[in-house]
């Protein structure tokens, strides 16, 4: 039997984490790659009860266990106690019990499944499950998506031997670990020029298109950046695909904006088509979104969310901006300058071309395959 055939014999892998699409979709990408390498590989997900991974993962035909675990926003802890008082305290007094039950269930899952490898992607479930996996002597790794590690991954890195990262500078935080800087695992995006893509969105193929993305829930100031400039769009020669997010969608529809140049969606199912028709993309700066956008290599305007722990998105956006891959706009400035910046960018072809080249250099289209192959090497 050849060595690569032995290496790719069926394995049992646990992927833990979730809470946001930025954690969930990299897990799915890795799971699908393991299945692609060998359809007999056994994949198990571990997430948090009542979080979005419990609904999303089963749609991809993978099994998932949920832990009774949650967290507290460190930045608002004192304010929550002061203003919400006893209800907030009572709600969070269960945290020690949640941790205890999560530890017990983690031990049960690990003993029952006996994985060859456990990899954590961040989220409430990732911390306790990886720690228990380490203490029970299972091979473990962290996949850190951001350019700056969060508190949980900093703590876990002292126990977990292997780390998969996406940014060069982050390696400085993990000097005692074995670090593989392969990039972030992303969906298999096949972006081609497609005449049907314009028809799908009802767009004019002769006009330049701006794709505005605010995430699955939406982004208030990004949405206001479009709302405040409806007349500017109508007067221009450009058209916009506007993904509002589910939270803001009904309110925006109530504004009765009827214009063939403004396509309003709460959620975009065919992101491959949206990417293919876009000439400039405006987006939040989540790690996985950036990884996809680097592969897409379209001129990019990033508006980092200020409402994330450790200000990850600003750090992610700066890492791209410093390499010439994007224009960075503060969230507070988006409603006034976002679209004007995009229009000005259309008038600067050399800058657009330079952005495309920079983003292409920063892209890691084969990150998923590299991570899976390295895990096989470690197991082997």
DSSP codes, 115-152: -SEEEE-SSTTHHHHHHHHHHTT--EEEE--SSS--HH
Is 189 among the domain residues? no
pLDDT in tens, 158-185: 889 899 998 877 777 776 678 899 999 9
Strands 178-181, 208-213: pairing kind? unpaired
pLDDT in tens, 86-142: 554 555 666 677 788 889 999 999 999 999 999 999 888 888 899 999 999 999 999
| Mean pLDDT, the chain, whole residue set | 87
| Bridge partners of residue 171, in order along the sequence | none
> Are 266 and 172 found together in one domain?
no
User: Rounded CA gap, 282 and 157, in Å?
Assistant: 33
Q: Rounded to 10 degrees, what is the CA torsion of 85, 91, 97, 99? A: -100
Please state, as a whole number, how many other Cβ atoms lie within 10 Å of the Cβ of residue 205.
10
> Are 175 and 239 found together in one domain?
no
Query: E strands within the chain?
Result: 12-16, 42-48, 64-67, 117-120, 140-143, 162-165, 178-181, 208-213, 238-243, 262-265, 280-283, 300-302, 327-328
> Are 35 and 173 found together in one domain?
yes
Domain span including residue 42: 3-184+365-379
Is 52 among the domain residues? yes
Structural domain count of the chain: 2
Is 242 among the domain residues? yes
> Are 204 and 164 found together in one domain?
no
pLDDT at 2 over 70: no
Tokens 């084969």 -> residue: 366
pLDDT at 74 over 70: no
Q: Which residue has the higher pLDDT, 9 or 319?
A: 319
User: Rounded CA gap, 30 and 52, in Å?
Assistant: 18
Sign of CA dihedral 333, 339, 342, 346: negative
Is 113 among the domain residues? yes
> Are 371 and 357 found together in one domain?
no
Q: pLDDT at position 75, please?
A: 46
Is 190 among the domain residues? no
Please state, as a whole number, how many other Cβ atoms lie within 10 Å of the Cβ of residue 58.
12
- Residue 311's pLDDT band, with cuts at 50, 70 and 90, is confident
> Are 16 and 126 found together in one domain?
yes
Q: pLDDT at position 70, please?
A: 67
SS3 45: strand
> Are 46 and 144 found together in one domain?
yes
Model confidence, pTM = 0.80
Query: Phi-psi bin for 17: left (phi > 0), alpha (psi -120 to 50), beta?
Result: left
pLDDT in tens, 147-165: 888 777 888 888 898 999 9
> Are 208 and 305 found together in one domain?
yes
Is 342 among the domain residues? yes
> Are 151 and 232 found together in one domain?
no
User: Rounded CA gap, 301 and 325, in Å?
Assistant: 9
> Are 319 and 332 found together in one domain?
yes
> Are 49 and 90 found together in one domain?
yes
Q: pLDDT at position 237, please?
A: 95
> Are 335 and 372 found together in one domain?
no
Mean local confidence (pLDDT), 325-345: 96
What CATH number is associated with residue 340?
3.40.50.2000
User: Rounded CA gap, 180 and 165, in Å?
Assistant: 6
């Amino acid at each position: 039997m050849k060595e690569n055939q032995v290496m790719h014999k069926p394995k049992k892998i646990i992927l833990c984490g979730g809470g946001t699409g930025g954690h969930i979709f990299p897990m799915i990408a890795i799971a699908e790659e393991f299945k692609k390498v060998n359809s007999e590989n056994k994949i198990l997900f571990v997430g948090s009860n009542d979080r979005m991974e419990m609904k999303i993962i089963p749609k991809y035909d993978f099994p998932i266990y949920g832990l009774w675990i949650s967290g507290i926003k460190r930045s608002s802890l004192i304010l929550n106690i002061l203003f919400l008082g006893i209800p907030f305290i009572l709600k969070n007094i269960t945290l020690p019990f949640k941790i205890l039950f999560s530890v017990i269930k983690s031990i049960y899952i690990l003993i029952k499944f006996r994985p060859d490898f456990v990899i954590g992607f961040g989220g409430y479930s990732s911390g306790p499950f990886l720690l228990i996996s380490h203490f029970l002597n299972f091979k473990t790794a962290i996949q850190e998506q951001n350019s700056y590690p969060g508190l949980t991954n900093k703590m876990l890195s002292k126990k977990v031997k292997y780390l998969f990262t996406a940014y060069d500078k982050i390696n400085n935080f993990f000097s005692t670990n074995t670090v593989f800087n392969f990039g972030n695992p992303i969906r298999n995006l096949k972006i081609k020029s497609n005449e049907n893509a314009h028809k799908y969105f009802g767009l004019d193929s002769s006009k330049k298109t701006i794709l505005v993305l605010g995430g699955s829930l939406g982004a208030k100031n990004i949405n206001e950046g479009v709302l405040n400039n409806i007349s500017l769009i109508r007067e221009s020669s450009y058209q916009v695909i506007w993904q509002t997010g589910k939270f803001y969608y009904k309110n925006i529809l109530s504004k009765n904006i009827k214009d063939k140049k403004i396509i309003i969606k709460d959620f975009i199912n065919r992101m491959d088509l949206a990417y293919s028709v876009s000439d400039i993309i405006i987006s939040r700066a989540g790690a996985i979104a950036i990884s996809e956008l680097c592969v897409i290599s379209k001129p990019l305007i990033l508006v980092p969310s200020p409402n994330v722990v450790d200000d990850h998105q600003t750090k992610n956006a700066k890492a791209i901006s410093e390499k010439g891959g994007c224009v960075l706009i503060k969230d507070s400035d988006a409603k006034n300058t976002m679209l004007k910046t995009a229009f000005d960018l259309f008038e600067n072809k050399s800058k657009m071309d330079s952005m495309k080249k920079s983003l292409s250099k920063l892209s890691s289209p084969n990150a998923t395959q590299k991570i899976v192959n390295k895990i096989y090497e470690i197991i082997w």
